[in-house]
A and B are shown apart, each in its own frame.
Chain A
Amino acid sequence: MKRKGAGGAGKNTKPAADIWELRLYVAGQTPKSLTAFANLKKICEEHLKGKYHIEVIDLLKNPQLAQGDQILAIPTLVRNLPQPIKKIIGDLSNTLRVLVGLDIRPRT
């Protein structure tokens, strides 16, 4: 899996604060990672169209990043922006929980 500057963020002219910076940590192209990426892509396209940026980090290639970002579980989605940092672990198959976790939808 390569880094993907996906989602047409480049076309967007909105202020930087509105950009959602998301990082997906994976370890090789496992089924779980692939599912997670597909789910993430779907959710972002649905709810954050045009204002998100996904970076996929393969820990097999950059193992030292696991320490810096305090990654334990694979896959882990980290929301760097907007603050505060949020972590979501798992293959993101539970869409509702992903939305809650990313603060796209308030907890009820």
Chain B
Amino acid sequence: MAKEKARLLRGLQKVRTGIEGLDEITSGGLPKGRPTLVCGGAGSGKTLLGMEFLVRGATRFNEPGVFMSFEESAEELTKNVASLGFDLNRLTASKRLLVDYVHIERSEIEETGEYDLEGLFIRLGNAIDSIGAKRVVLDTIESLFAGLPNTSILRAELRRLFRWLKKKGMTAIITGERGDNALTRHGLEEYVSDCVILLDHRVANQVSTRRLRIVKYRGSTHGTNEFPFLIDERGLAVMPITSLGLKHTVTSQRISTGIPRLDTMLGGKGYFRGSSILVSGTAGTGKTSVAAHFVEAACRRGERSAFFAFEESPSQIIRNMHSIGINLQQWVEKGLLQFHAERPTVYGLEAHLASMEKIFDLFKPRVVIVDPVTNLSSVASETDVKAMLIRLLDQMKSNQTTALFTTLTAASGPLELTEVNVSSIADTWLLLRDIELGGERNRGLYILKSRGMAHSNQIREFLLTDKGVDLIDVYVGPSGVLTGSARISQESHEKDVELTHQQEIERRKLNVETKRKALEAHIASLRAQFQAEEQELQKLTEQEKMRQNGVSKLRKKIARMRKEDENSERRNR
């Protein structure tokens, strides 16, 4: 009893499918020992999903499986899935997989009275027991509805079959054709209700996209969104956007943009490693050149770079960048730079994402350029492109790969609005814009944002020279921002004014000097005059003294002569 309770409390046990991404969105896989319904239209990948579930089970989780096919024969199946790298013959020979083809033909069958499907049970039971299977796929059991006319018997038997599978503890996938108003044409969801996965294959703008959605998963949380998925040579891959989460660690290491002046604008050091950089601008503003500089700088540091071009061919980019003095060819030859140029319309968004991920896995680039991401919106809606970019960025950030995206903004629209609304996911956003002034067009660059660093708020004029991109100060004066020849003429005008000023000062200086000299001369003459007068005065004073001396002597002489007494003499004094 206690044991039973503990088992219940542990919750639903799950079985990993081994299908990329599916285990993440179902948080662990399919419900163990229960049937799961996989429904979808023709060609939506039901059979492949089932087959991969068995193949992965047999090869990775040591769980043999039985594939009961009601549509394709074992030979056909073997051939069909060989393209995905599944070797059914080898798995069958090693008793890890058993394919049983149930052939049912309406024209060969006559119904007379009561019957049941015990034969199917015996067959399946025998197959399960012979290899000790843990997994079962029934593809597509609804074919029975076409073969057996008595649906009431069939329904009762199907109900019994799924109960029986549960009792045997089989983790099963039952596929069903999508119905008009219901999930399946014959209402299989009525019997298989623990987990229902819906596959969808839809075409929008002539590009097809496969999608997967977990409609229901009893007793478990699951991703409820529609997730794009892909079938390629590695099998099926579901791409959950949210799977990576916002947990990546960051580094404070900075890497050069390849444009010295831009480094200066970004706090003197450039971008953060592992950050995402968005370069937006109207046509012909030099977005690719900014990207090329960045790639070149990365290659110079010896880091590998991947350049995804959706507009130009590699040789065209190399040629064009050569004209501004960037030699990308050498890095391609050294194996540091890989170009991947494809028209966005060549396949769906998911396939693009998958091919990019494959390159990440194989080439492991430190710097990734996508030029331009806006072109991808020709194959998918904006939300899809954004979702894809978020996923791409998350993945790159978790590897600390620096990503640079360019986006094209329509000239008529507001510049701050990027076409795919990716600005919120960018860490650094450079805006390149045309500045139309005085009958000419010049390029301007400014940093709209750069998370986590002090950055310049100035507009710089963006020049494409034969030595690469050059950023120079624009003229900011009372008449506004001037660029190009207007800036140059303004600058020369300023120089003229300054020269005139200088000359004026020179002239005044001279003037003052002359005046000073005149003044000094005047002072000197005055001083000479003064000195002469002073000498005169001194002479006079001396004469006076001598005269007074003479007078006093004379008086004394007279007093002595008059024999004056002392008192009178004193009184006189």
Contact = CB atoms under 8 A, between A and B. Distances in A.
B464 interface: no
B110 A87 contact: yes
B75 to A, nearest CB: 15
B118 interface: yes
Given A27-B118, A73-B117, A64 B126 contact: yes
A92 B123 contact: no
A70 B103 contact: yes
Contacts of B109: 87-89
Given A64-B126, A66-B126, A86-B108, A71 B113 contact: no
Interface residues of B, number: 25
B126 A93 contact: no
Contacts of B204: none
A7 B11 CA distance: 60
B114 interface: yes
A87 B103 CA distance: 12
B112 A101 contact: yes
B119 A32 contact: no
B408 to A, nearest CB: 60
B277 to A, nearest CB: 61
Contacts of A20: none
B123 A94 contact: no
Given A70-B102, A73-B148, A60 B110 contact: no
Contacts of A36: 113
B122 A90 contact: no
A27 B114 contact: no
Contact of A91 (B114, B123, B126, B148): B114
B114 A72 contact: no
B121 to A, nearest CB: 8
B126 A67 contact: yes
B112 A73 contact: no
A70 B115 CA distance: 16
B111 interface: yes
Interface in A28-54: 30, 32, 35-36
B120 interface: yes
B116 A76 contact: no
Given A72-B104, A73-B148, A97-B110, A89 B123 contact: no
Interface string A84-108: 0111111111100110110000000
B71 interface: no
A59 interface: yes
A72 B145 CA distance: 13
Contact of B113 (A59, A67, A87, A94): A94
A72 B113 contact: no
Q: Could you say which interface size class chain A belongs to? A: 20 to 34
B108 A85 contact: yes
Contacts of A30: 118
Given A67-B100, A86-B108, A101-B110, A73 B122 contact: no
B187 interface: no
A36 B114 CA distance: 9
B125 interface: yes
A98 B112 contact: yes
Interface string B18-42: 0000000000000000000000000
B119 A71 contact: yes
A75 B114 CA distance: 9
Interface centre among A25, A32, A60, A90 (most CB of B within 10 A): A90
Contact of A89 (B100, B115, B125): B115
A67 B123 contact: yes
B111 A59 contact: no
Contacts of A75: 115
Interface in B151-173: none
Contacts of B115: 32, 73-76, 89-91
A8 interface: no
12 contacts: A27-B118, A59-B118, A63-B123, A64-B126, A72-B148, A75-B115, A76-B115, A87-B110, A88-B112, A90-B113, A90-B114, A92-B113
Interface of A: 25, 27, 30, 32, 35-36, 59-60, 63-64, 66-67, 70-76, 85-94, 97-98, 100-101
Closest 9 CB pairs of A and B: A101-B110, A93-B113, A63-B126, A90-B113, A74-B118, A71-B119, A91-B113, A90-B112, A66-B123
